[in-house]
Amino acid sequence: MKNQKTTVLLLALLLFVTSAIAGTGKEELKAGWELFSKNDYTKAVEHFNNAAKDPATADDAYISLAMLNTGIYKTKVAMENFSKYLTGCKNPNPALFALESAPFIRSMNVKESTLFYENIVKNPNIDETSRGMAYERLAGLYELNGDVAKGRATADKIGSIQDWTVLGSFENLSGSGFNKDFGAIAHPEATYTFKNKINADVAWFTVPKDRIRNDRWIDFEYFLSTTNALVYAQTFITSLSDVECQFRLGTSGSYKVWLNDHLIMSDPEERNNDLDTYISTVKLAKGVNRILIQLGSSEIENCNFMCRFTDSTGKLIPGLTYTSAYQPYIKTYDYKGTIIPINVEEFYKAKVKEDPTLLLNYLLLANCYLRNDKSFDAAHVLRDAEKLAPDCVYLLALKAEQASRAKNYPGMSAILKKLKEVAPTVTMRFS
């Protein structure tokens, strides 16, 4: 009986200590962010370091330390903390996406960047979207090191479709072409003649493999005029069986996608984003299928895309073959697909809802929106964050970036003026 009582007391003591530590970690993290929001970085560091000792708050603490040290130009320290986060976190993908363009990552030299992204690729907790982005970065880094063949082989690991015919350019002044039918849906055959925006005869033509970017994005600027233009690309996919899967797309420009002549996804907003930004469940029929993509540019200068077929985890669907040459294809489509929300955005939206008093998650969500070129969504989040920390330099820097992306130049000037007022002697670098 005495041994049982001792065991119970020890367990109770252990639970008490564990809960006390967890409470301390959360309190330290909140205290650090209260100081961060007031631009008191020296004291904030102490609290973040304390929060890092608690497993329950270590992930957020390391992210916080990375963000803070970036601002005070200690990029090496920032990277050390972010590396600890990547190593220890079970789901590092949202923060990696949110902070990949941060100065502590951008300031690395070629050798450091190569090692960083090689570690990303090998990290077992990295999802297939993050791994694909890492392959894309590594492809460019290997080329900078003089190994072009390795760079291209690495880019091929992304698994994006490379066999295309393209058509254009059609009128899209102020986005006017987005909902117009220029005949591309009804006429996939190479022999059909269209009239382009200057009334010249045009037809589908094959994209030469040496005109595809080394990072494997299909860039219309390489072979068509994209100023106020609407353009198309098509490919034909052979599947050995019926396959329910995901179609994943990244673009610069507005877009529409048809599978077997049925519209499966679209967005009239012109955005510059990454691979796998837009995802829909689809069904490939046994036999030949056609994918048709429409891209539009009027407000932005870039016009490109990357797409691939994957399972629900992002792994490539095996056994599919692609050709740019026209083939008779199945035109029936009775599958009702589902648009998959962007997981990194959903992750931080849930985190904000879970704790609406923690500034960290507002900033990371705003970073995700800005990277996906959703400037108005970012503005909404930053307005909410401003209620918590109206004078936070990091937040004001994000507001300036958002205003720039939205081409709100008077608003950006007002934000920069406020930055000088709230921190006249502080030199920070957050973006």
Residue 60 lies in a domain: yes
Is 207 found in the same domain as 127? no
- Confirm whether 430 is domain-assigned: no
Instruction: Give domain status of residue 41, yes or no.
Output: yes
CB 318 within 8 A of CB 267: no
Provide the CA 113 distance to its chain's centre, in angstroms.
19
- In a domain, residue 427? The reply is no
Asked if residue 29 and residue 140 are part of one domain, the reply reads: yes
User: Is residue 429 in a domain?
Assistant: no
pLDDT at site 420: 85
What is the DSSP code string of 284-335?
EPSEEEEEEEEEEESSSS--EEEEEEE-TTSPBPTT-EEESS----------
My answer on whether 172 and 224 are in the same domain is yes
Let me know whether 304 and 391 are in one domain. no
- For 79, 123, 302, 309, 330, the CA distances from 116, given in Å and listed in that order, are 10, 11, 28, 27, 44
pLDDT category of residue 427 using cuts at 50, 70 and 90: low
Domain boundary residue, one of 131, 156, 181: 156
CATH number of the structural domain spanning residue 95 = 1.25.40.10
Confidence at 426, pLDDT banded by 50, 70, 90: low
Asked if residue 192 and residue 286 are part of one domain, the reply reads: yes
User: Does one domain contain both 279 and 315?
Assistant: yes
> What per-residue confidence (pLDDT) applies to 301?
86
Instruction: Kindly state whether residue 431 falls inside one of the protein's structural domains.
Output: no
pLDDT, position 114: 98
Of 295, 311, 340, the one marking the end of a domain is 340
pLDDT above 70 coverage of the chain, percent: 93
Whole-number Å distance between alpha carbons of 141 and 145? 6
Q: Which residues contact 213 (CB under 8 A, 6 or more apart)?
A: 219, 222, 304
pLDDT of 401:
92
Residue ending a domain, choose from 156, 180, 200: 156
CA distance 216 to 219: 9
Same domain, 127 and 93: yes
- Judge if pTM exceeds 0.75: yes
Distance CA 230, CA 254 (A): 9
Residue 284 is part of which domain span?
165-340
Window from 309-318, 384-393, 411-420 with minimum mean pLDDT: 411-420
Same-domain status, 315 and 169: yes
**Which among 201, 187, 343 has a CA at the least distance from the CA of 258?**
187
In which band, very low, low, confident or very high, does the pLDDT at 233 lie, cut at 50, 70 and 90? Answer: very high
Instruction: Taking the CA atoms of 412, 416, 417 and 423 in sequence, report the sign of the dihedral they define.
Output: positive
Q: Give backbone dihedrals phi and psi of 30, rounded to 5 degrees, phi first.
A: -65, -40
Q: What is the CATH number of the domain that holds 234?
A: 2.60.120
